[in-house]
Amino acid sequence: MSTVTAARKAPQSPLEATSRRSRWLVVLLLALALLWTLVPLLWMLLSSFKNRTDVTAATPQILFAPTLDNYRNLFSGPNNLGPYIWHSVLAAGISALLAVCLGALAGYGLARTQMRGKRHLAFWIISTRMAPIAAVVVPLFLIFRGLGLIDSIPGLVLAYLTFNLPFAIWLMSAFFAEVPASLEESALVAGCTRWQAFWTVVLPLTKSGLVTTFILCLVFAWNDYAFAVVFSGPNSQTLPIAASQLVTQTGVDWGQLTAIGTIVVVPMMLAGLAVRRWLVTGLTLGAVTGE
């Protein structure tokens, strides 16, 4: 015990000093990154509680009398925000759910099939995710018009699947590839059908993958503006559309705009926080086999 204390009090070796200094550097950099990320969000949150004069004051106001007017205005009147939120929840939620279900099945197939050109197929699938939305919008619009999917939630769900599904397939197939094939083979020998083996053994082991995929797909769809602005109408407009409507020719209502921004950001942040345990293991992969 005494030697340990002595060692601690002993003058630092150069190596220790360096490691301590580099640790401080890391902390400093992280703090800067945190500021960089959080300040705009914080500013948005503060502004959403400001009245019209405070929000546009030339000297930014840190201390002010908070008001709920912006939120109250958003939820009152004929064009209140309720339906927009509902549309967003439906479109993003259903599309993320579908993406995870289909992505898990397709990803499993992709991970387990032995076939020629498998890697090319996998790359082709993820490459569709890389196409800019602008390239997809026009053909998709024509197809949707033909199918009567313009201004409908199913239309938006489908549109979001165009970018969420390839991503979900690709991510889930990476998770399934991490699960040793012998686990399923063992289940098959034990009496399972392929589906039972998938359901009882493989799927529970990729829980973090499912959660990660769902959250990311949800965020992508939730934040979408480009598809919503083209395909949605009065019956299906989402939150980002509502936000854009506040930018008018007569001016920008910054108070309400930041209030909508807050309403868009907060649920996703809460969702992320709630599942961060899985999100972290999910994003780092490798931790799924329990070995």
Partner 1 sequence: MATVIYDEATRVYPGSDRPAVDALDLDIKDGEFLVLVGPSGCGKSTSLRMLAGLERVDGGSISIGDRDVTHLAPRDRDIAMVFQNYALYPHMSVADNMGFALRVMKAPKEERDRRVREAARLLDLEDYLDRKPKELSGGQRQRVAMGRAIVREPKVFLMDEPLSNLDAKLRVQTRTQVAALQRRLGVTTVYVTHDQVEAMTMGDRVAVLKDGVLQQVDTPLRLYQHPANVFVAGFIGSPAMNLAEYRVEGEEAVLGQMRVRLSRETLKAIEDEGGDRVVLGFRPEAVGVVGDDDDQPAFPVTVTVVEELGSDAFLYGQHADTKDPALAGQTVIARVDPNAPPPKGATVRLRILPGKERLFSAVTGLRLPAAESSG
Query: Which spans of this chain sit near partner 1 (rule: CB under 8 A)?
Result: 114, 116, 180, 182-183, 185-193, 196, 200-201, 204-205, 289-291
Distance CA 80, CA 74 (A): 6
Helices (H) and strands (E) in the chain, counts: 16, 2
Residue 182 Cβ vs partner 1, minimum distance, rounded to whole Å: 4
31 or 190, CB closer to partner 1?
Answer: 190
Residue 178 Cβ vs partner 1, minimum distance, rounded to whole Å: 12
Which tokens in the block code for residue 75? 């939820």
Residue 291 Cβ vs partner 1, minimum distance, rounded to whole Å: 7
Residue 271 Cβ vs partner 1, minimum distance, rounded to whole Å: 24
126 or 183, CB closer to partner 1?
Answer: 183
The DSSP H or E segment spanning 16 is helix 14-47
User: Are the C-beta atoms of 240 and 225 separated by less than 8 Å?
Assistant: yes
Distance CA 189, CA 32 (A): 55
15 or 115, CB closer to partner 1?
Answer: 115
192 or 230, CB closer to partner 1?
Answer: 192
43 or 199, CB closer to partner 1?
Answer: 199
Which tokens in the block code for residue 43? 């500013």
Residue 76 Cβ vs partner 1, minimum distance, rounded to whole Å: 50
Which long-range contacts link 69-75 to residues 24+ away (Cβ below 8 Å)?
69/255, 70/255, 70/256, 70/258, 70/259, 71/259, 73/256, 74/256, 74/259, 74/260, 74/263
